């Protein structure tokens, strides 16, 4: 039996010269695209061998598809690009993955997940569940949490504040 990979909590800002911070900023740009389209601002990018493989953002409202979370959108694009469902790469996402997305990441054999802010209501990496590192599953991922956590959380707070203020946002 393999041991459970550790979860790396380096804090909300990471190191200034850290590649994870740069990729998370790109995921934040994807999240902003979701917000502009009226969707919850979650963005994701998939990186393999230091190169951008795929990007995606939340499209649930745009596509009326309950599975169109940023991680799933990016995984589908990466699998198409690679020509295989085995996406052996790193996924950066602005919010801790939910159970559906965590399951997809395990099944896609993603090697590593780096997330921004915690998801206290549905987090499946550390907050509520630990699906990504569960030793009972056939694949476990390396997890790094809370990279640019405050920026990621601020994006979410701003979106929901605008949403509560009126229907004009995202229209």
Give me the CATH number covering residue 127: 3.40.140.10
The question of whether 71 is a catalytic residue gets the answer yes
Q: What is the DSSP string of the chain?
A: -PPPPPEEE--SS--TT-HHHHHHHHHHHHHHHHHHTTS---EEEEEETTEEEEEEE--HHHHT-TT--HHHHHHHHHHHHHTSS---SEEEEEEPPPHHHHHHHHHTT--EEEEEE--TTT-TTTTS--GGG-TTSS---EEEE-TTHHHHHHHHHHHHHHHHH-TTTT-
Average pLDDT across the chain, whole number: 91
* Average pLDDT estimate for 127-144: 96
Residue 169 in any domain: the answer is: no
Q: What's the predicted TM-score (pTM) here?
A: 0.88
Enclosing domain of residue 136: 7-164
Residue 30 in any domain: the answer is: yes
Residue 114 in any domain: the answer is: yes
* Average pLDDT estimate for 24-40: 97
* Number of domains composing the chain: 1
* Average pLDDT estimate for 95-110: 98
Cβ neighbours of residue 154 under 8 Å, at least 6 residues apart?
none
Residue 2 in any domain: the answer is: no
Which position among 32, 61, 71, 96 bears the catalytic label?
71
Residue 121 in any domain: the answer is: yes
- Per-residue pLDDT for 6 more than 90? no
* Average pLDDT estimate for 145-158: 96
What pLDDT was estimated at residue 168? 59
Residue 171 in any domain: the answer is: no
Residue 146 in any domain: the answer is: yes
């Amino acid at each position: 039996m393999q041991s459970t990979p550790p979860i790396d909590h380096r804090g909300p800002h990471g190191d200034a010269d850290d590649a994870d911070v740069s990729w998370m900023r790109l995921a934040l740009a994807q999240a902003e695209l979701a917000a502009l389209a009226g969707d919850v601002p979650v963005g994701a990018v998939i990186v393999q061998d230091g190169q951008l493989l795929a990007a995606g953002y939340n499209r649930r409202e745009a596509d009326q598809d309950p599975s169109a979370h940023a991680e799933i959108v990016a995984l589908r694009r990466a699998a198409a690009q690679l020509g295989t469902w085995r996406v052996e790469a790193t996924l950066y996402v602005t919010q801790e993955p939910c159970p559906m997305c965590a399951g997809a990441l395990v099944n896609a054999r993603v090697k590593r997940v780096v997330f921004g802010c915690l998801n206290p209501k549905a987090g499946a990496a550390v907050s509520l569940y630990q699906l990504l590192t569960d030793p009972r599953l056939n694949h476990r991922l390396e997890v790094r949490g809370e990279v640019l956590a405050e920026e990621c959380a601020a994006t979410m707070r701003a979106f929901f504040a605008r949403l509560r203020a009126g229907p004009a946002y995202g229209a």
